[in-house]
Structure 1
Amino acid sequence: MLDANFTDIVIIAFGLLAAGALTGVLAGVFGVGGGAVIVPVLYELFGVLNVPDEVRMPLAVGTSLAVIIPTSIRSFNAHRKHGTVDLSIIRVWAIPVVLGVMGGSFIARYAPADLFKMVFILVAGVSAFRLLFGKDSWKISDTLPGKWVMRAYGALIGVLSSLMGIGGGQLSSLFMTFYGRPIHQAVSTSSGLGVLISIPGALGYIYAGWPRAADFPEVAVIQPPLALGFVSLIGVLLISPTSVLTAPLGVRLAHALPKRKLEIAFGCFLLFVSGRFLFDQISTYL
């Protein structure tokens, strides 16, 4: 049924399970939904399944958003038990973030595949630079800006996160540390955004991709019941269990290990992924 042999399918299954385990750890450690890992992994695995380039990236993004729903919920609950979540920030961001996600999902229905890659390259590249070279002295202020600035940034987080397939933790943590919030509080609070982004984002990608399956009837992996719109049910079923199981481990690591070493490791990974997508873009135009 799938355009891949048995060996390919076994490799894909193990790859998805491993990606799920790593996703859960990253969700806990960095307050991210894990999309920065899931999207590039799914992009490569869908390539093995010969998913057309026109829908390969949005399928990876939509699947990532669906996968990080349970991971984000468990990560947020674990951080809240540590008492480091600032719920006042989440209340200010809640509506703008959801509206931004809805806008991003609408864009996803009509946007070319290259747009998703360019957003990923830009945001992941900036995040990598901040993680690798950033200093505690890099601050805009010691207090958060007014509510209208907060709301505008929340909407931007929603749009970019829905186009990248991430839980928004990278963007919100970056913002809060620039305004003097401790990194552990920034990470813990950011975990709450994953819930606000992933649920409407996944529903939006189901809507955005629903009519596209008819354009590629020969590709089984994007047809129901294997997929709903731009959400691969195979990816969700294989990644979600391991990511939920390992999320609490990530939270324990976040409160136990030197943050700098973890930042360097994650920054290098993001830099590698950005370079991979950039190379893919350049190769397309050569």
Structure 2
Amino acid sequence: MDLLIENWTTIAALMATGVFAGLLAGLLGVGGGIVIVPVLYFLFQAFNVSPESAMLIATATSLATIVPTSISSIRAHRSKGNVDFTLIKVWGMFILIGVLIGSWLVTQVNGQWLTVLFGVIATLSAFNMLLGSKKAIFDDLPGKAGQSAMASSVGLFSSLVGIGGGTLTVPMLTFCNYPAHKAIGTAAAVGLIISLPAAIIMLLVGQTPVDAPLGTFGLVNLVGFICIVPLTVFFAPIGASLANKLDAQKLKKVFAVVLMITGIRMLAQLFF
């Protein structure tokens, strides 16, 4: 009990992260990882964790939180027939290969490189939200070689920066004239293929940094996981219901600006 009282500010901040991520996921249709990683990155630093360690732990913890939320999302999208299991069968093995490589790299590289990569992906994602056209660039998905490259890239980069399938999978599919509603539903299944093995590897293989916050095992902060997941799952449907009452497209533009500022700030912290 004394330990909880001493660290109540950390726990409260982690719970707020879960609320924020859940609301945005439901309201704007963005993946929780793109929200959770930068929040944890800056939050851990507020508790005297180095930027390098903070990024490693934020990445691993984010992936762990995506496991239960993606299962819930898959069930919801499957009931509407929006999960393309045929595509998952084609992509699954290549996603897993990318995840295994990316997860291993996270346990080996300096967190600065992951911060750079996340900052770049966050900034590009923000530009896509602000300026991206809804028109397809290609008429159809490429052949098997092209799809294997797409799938392995999604697995590799998503596991490296702690995001689920949506941030990279949805734009890739929609650029290839793939129905947007099926892209979102299928991305939920991709998120599970990414997050489950990645989180296990980072939990069991990752070496806990000496300045890691309370409750960190391997590279996963279990306190963060416990505080974030229930609230994310609870508030995502609330966010979805708010989307019907608010102008979600305008809010998405606002989030894109915030995401861009966050990505640039993460990069600036390293180079200036």
TM-score of the alignment, normalized to the shorter chain, above 0.5: yes
Give the direction of change, closer, same or farther, for the CA distance of 1:29–1:236 in structure 2 (3 Å limit). same
Maintained 8 Å contact 2:61/2:225: yes
Give CA-to-partner distance per residue, 1:163-213, whole Å, 9 cap, x none: 110002110001011011232222222111111111111012123423x44
Q: Which amino acid aligns with 1:221?
A: P
Alignment of 1:46-65 (within 5 A): 46-65=44-63
Q: How does 1:82-231 map to 2 (within 5 A)?
A: 82-137=80-135, 139-210=136-207, 212-213=208-209, 216=210, 219=211, 221=213, 226-231=215-220
- CA drift of 1:160 comes to 0.6
| Aligned equivalent of 2:231 | 242
Query: 1:125, 1:274 within 8 Å by CA — same for their partners in 2?
Result: yes
Letter paired with 1:50: N
| Counterpart residue identity of residue 195, structure 1 | L
Q: 1 CA distance for matches of 2:24 and 2:117?
A: 21
Alpha-carbon distance in structure 2 between the residues aligned to 1:75 and 1:209:
28
1:44-92: CA deviation from partner (whole Å, max 9, x where unpaired):
1211221233322101100111111111111121122222222222222
Instruction: Decide whether aligned partners of structure 1 residues 203 and 31 sit closer, same or farther in structure 2, where only a CA change above 3 A counts.
Output: farther
Q: Hey, what's the Cα distance between the residues in 2 that align with 1:154 and 1:145? A: 12
In structure 1, what is the Cα distance between the partners aligned to 2:197 and 2:83?
22
Normalization by structure 1: what TM-score? 0.86
Aligned-residue offset at 1:274: 0.7
Unaligned runs of 5+ in 2: none
**Match of residue 18 from structure 2:** 20
| The one of 250, 254, 258 aligned to 1:261 | 250
Query: Offset at 1:37?
Result: 0.9
Residue 271 of structure 2 is aligned to residue 279 of structure 1: no
- In structure 1, the gaps of 5 or more residues are none
> What letter corresponds to residue 197 of structure 1 in structure 2?
I
Deviation for aligned residue 1:263: 3.2
> For the residues of structure 2 that align with 1:262 and 1:84, how far apart are their CA atoms?
24
Q: Tell me if structure 1 keeps the 8 A contact 2:41–2:51.
A: no
Which one is further off, 149-158 or 20-29?
20-29
Q: Distance in 1 between matches of 2:164 and 2:269?
A: 24
**Distance apart, 1:266 and its partner CA:** 3.1
Q: CA deviation at 1:269?
A: 2.7
Cα pair 2:18 2:229 within 8 Å, conserved: yes
Residues 34, 167 of structure 2: 8 Å contact kept: no
Counterpart contact for 1:27–1:71, Cα < 8 Å: no
- Tell me, in whole angstroms, the C-alpha distance in 1 between the residues paired with 2:192 and 2:226: 18
Are the aligned partners of 1:20 and 1:239 in contact in 2 as well (CA < 8 Å)?
A: yes
1:69 & 1:141 partners in 2: Cα distance? Answer: 32
Select the residue among 3, 7, 10 that pairs with 2:8.
10
**1:232 corresponds to which residue?**
221
Summarize deviations over 1:245-276 as a string: whole Å, max 9, x none: 12333455667865533431332232122111
* Greater mean deviation of Cα atoms: 33-42 or 261-270: 261-270
- Whole-Å separation in 2 of the counterparts to 1:70 and 1:249: 17
TM score, norm. by length of structure 2: 0.90
Is the CA contact (8 Å cut-off) linking 1:58 and 1:108 kept in structure 2?
A: yes
**Within the alignment, does 1:75 sit opposite 2:73 as a pair?**
yes
